[in-house]
Structure 1
C-alpha cells in the first residue's frame, strides 16, 4: 500500500496512490509504504529517483548500519515501533529514508517510511495532523512527531502495566494464595515483564534515532529543542521501567513464597503424622517381641491395655503439637 501525505493550510492530508499517474499529481512531504509491492517500489524509483534497498526490512542487520547518511544527503534510519495489544506484544521495524534535496518538492524534502504492517503511532499522527493545523511543517517534523508519539505510546503501555500489576498486588497480598491462583499470577507477571522489557528496548532504540538526528545537524533550533524534550521524556520512562522491574521481582518473589508456604503445609502434615505415629509403633513393636511370658496370656486386660497405650501415645504428641500451634 502506497500513501502520500501533503500539507495544505497547515494540515496533513492523506492520499492513497494506485498508479504512477496519481503519484505525479502530488508534492508530498511524506510517502508511506506499507508492505510495498515491486510495482510500488518501481513507481517510487521512477518518480523520486529513490532506490529502496532490498535489505531495508531485514531484522538481522548490524546495529551500526541502522543509522547512516549517504553521500547524496539521504538519511537512513531503521527504528522499531511498539505494538501492544491484548493478543500480542511485538515490535515492528520501520525504515526511514529522508531525502533533503528533492528539487520537485522545493527543497522542503520528503520522508519515505517502509514497514510491513500498520503501526498505531502512525495512525495517531495522521489523526492529530488532520485536526491540528501547524503541527507539521516539513518532513523532519514528521519524523520527530513519530518518535514523540512512540515515546507517548510507550508511556501509555507503562500505565497499563501499572494497572495490571496493581490487580496482581491485590490478589497476592490480600489473603490466601492457592496454587491455582499462584499459577495465574505468575502467568500475568510474566506477560507484564515481557511487555516492560520490550518497552525498555523500544525507548532505547528511539533514543538512538533521535540522538542521530541531533548529531546530523539537520534540525532547526526549534526542532532541536523538541528533540531534546523527547530525550527527556524517554529518560523519565527509563526510571519507570526500572521501578516496574523491581515491582515485578517483588511480586514474583512473594508469589513463589506463597507457593513454598503451601508446599510446607503439606510437608508439615506428613511430618506431624510420622512423629505422632512413632510412639504407637514403638509400643506395638515391644508387644510383638518373643517374650517367654506374654502379658496378654497372663492378664485378662492385656490386649485392651496395649491398644489404649498405643492410642494415648499417639494422642499425647498431637495434643502437644496443637498446644504449640503447629497444627494450624
Structure 2
C-alpha cells in the first residue's frame, strides 16, 4: 500500500504532470508494496526502493549505506499489536527532499507520525524532520513495549512466589492447600517466561538497529539537516541508551524468574520422590514379616498358635504404622 504525506498531512497521488509526484509529497510510505508500486516510485523519484530481501541483510554495511543522493537504512522492527510478536524488516531511503519508508507490517509509530503531521504537532517541513519524528515515535513504542513487559514480569513474579499460598482464587486466606494440577500451572508459568524472553530478544534487536541508525544519520546528513536536528538526534540517542539499560534489567529479571520457576519444578519433583520413598519404606517391614511367615517351614511355633493369624496381621499392621508415624513427625508428608 502506497501513501504520500507532506507538511500538511496526506497528499494526493497524482502530480502536476503524468508520471510525477506532488512536489509537497516529502514522505512516501510503502506498506508491504507490490512490484508495481515499487517501480512507480523508482520511476518518479529516481531512487531505488529496496526489496524485502535486501532489507533483511544482517551485516552493517548493508543496513547503513551512503547513496549518491542520500542514505539507505534498514533495521529489524518488532510488531507490537500481536500476541506472538515478530521481527520484520523496516527500511528508509533518506535524501534532502524525500523520505521513503518500506515496511511489511503495521506500526503504531507510523500512524502516530501521520496524525502528528496532520495536526501540526512538531516540525515536519523537511524529510529529516519527518525522519526524526519517526525515530522518536519508534523509540516511544519500544519504551511502551518495555513498560508493558515490566508489568507482565511483575505479574509472573507474583504467580511464581505466591504459588503455594492460595489453593484457588476463591480460597480462604487460611487455606494452605496446594493448587490442583500444579504441573499444568508450572508449565503455563514456564511458557509465559519463555514468551517474554523471546519478545525481549526481539525488542533488543530493534533497539540495536535504531542505536546504529541514529548516530550514522546524524553524522552523514549534516549537509541537508538544519535547525535543531543535532539536538534531537542526541536526545533520541540518550533515550535509546536508557532503554538498553532497562531492557538489560528486564532480561536479568527474566533469567531470575526462570531460575525460580525451575526451582519450583525441582521442589515438586523432590516431593514426588519423597512420597515414593515413604511408600517404599512403609512397605518394606510388612513385606519382610509376610515373607518370613510364608516360608512354610515344619517347625514354626506360630503355626500352632490359636491367635497366630491375628498376631501376624497385627504385626504387619504395626510395622507399617510405625514408619508412617515417624515420617509424619518428621514432616515428610
TM-score, normalised via structure 1 length: 0.87
2:5 maps to 5
Match of 2:136 among 138, 148, 171: 148
Q: Given the alignment of the two structures, is residue 68 of structure 1 paired with residue 68 of structure 2, yes or no?
A: no
Structure 2 unaligned runs (5+)?
A: 165-178
Distance in 2 (CA, whole Å) between partners of 1:133 and 1:253 is 46
* C-alpha contact 1:6 1:30 (8 A) present in aligned 2: yes
Pair 242,53 (structure 1): closer, same or farther in 2 beyond 3 Å: closer
What is the correspondence of 1:133-144 to structure 2 with a 5 Å cutoff? 133-144=121-132
Pair 68,181 (structure 1): closer, same or farther in 2 beyond 3 Å: same
Distance in 1 (CA, whole Å) between partners of 2:122 and 2:292 is 99
Q: Given the alignment of the two structures, is residue 92 of structure 1 paired with residue 80 of structure 2, yes or no?
A: no
Distance in 1 (CA, whole Å) between partners of 2:51 and 2:198 is 31
What is the correspondence of 1:112-261 to structure 2 with a 5 Å cutoff? 112-176=100-164, 178-218=182-222, 219-220=225-226, 222-261=228-267
2:297 maps to 291
Distance in 2 (CA, whole Å) between partners of 1:266 and 1:237 is 43
1:318 maps to 324
Q: Given the alignment of the two structures, is residue 37 of structure 1 paired with residue 34 of structure 2, yes or no?
A: yes
Q: Matched residue pairs, number?
A: 314
Q: Secondary structure of the residue that 2:125 maps to in structure 1? A: coil
2:167 maps to none
Distance in 1 (CA, whole Å) between partners of 2:221 and 2:22 is 32
1:138, CA displacement in angstroms?
A: 1.0
* C-alpha contact 2:55 2:75 (8 A) present in aligned 1: no
Distance in 1 (CA, whole Å) between partners of 2:331 and 2:58 is 64
Q: Secondary structure of the residue that 2:86 maps to in structure 1? A: strand
* C-alpha contact 2:31 2:104 (8 A) present in aligned 1: yes
1:23, CA displacement in angstroms?
A: 4.4
* C-alpha contact 2:55 2:63 (8 A) present in aligned 1: no
Q: Which segment is superposed worse, 262-271 or 213-222?
A: 213-222
Match of 1:77 among 73, 76, 80: 73
Distance in 1 (CA, whole Å) between partners of 2:76 and 2:36 is 26
- The CA RMSD over aligned residues, in Å, is 2.3
What is the correspondence of 1:98-109 to structure 2 with a 5 Å cutoff? 98-100=94-96, 109=97
Q: Deviations over 1:95-146 (max 9, x none)?
A: 211222xxxxxxxx11112223332211111112222344223111111221
Match of 1:27 among 24, 29, 45: 24
What is the correspondence of 1:44-55 to structure 2 with a 5 Å cutoff? 44-53=41-50
Distance in 2 (CA, whole Å) between partners of 1:40 and 1:301 is 100
Q: Secondary structure of the residue that 1:271 maps to in structure 2? A: helix
Pair 38,201 (structure 1): closer, same or farther in 2 beyond 3 Å: closer
* C-alpha contact 2:76 2:90 (8 A) present in aligned 1: yes
* C-alpha contact 2:73 2:213 (8 A) present in aligned 1: yes
TM-score, normalised via structure 2 length: 0.86
1:36, CA displacement in angstroms?
A: 2.9
* C-alpha contact 2:13 2:22 (8 A) present in aligned 1: no
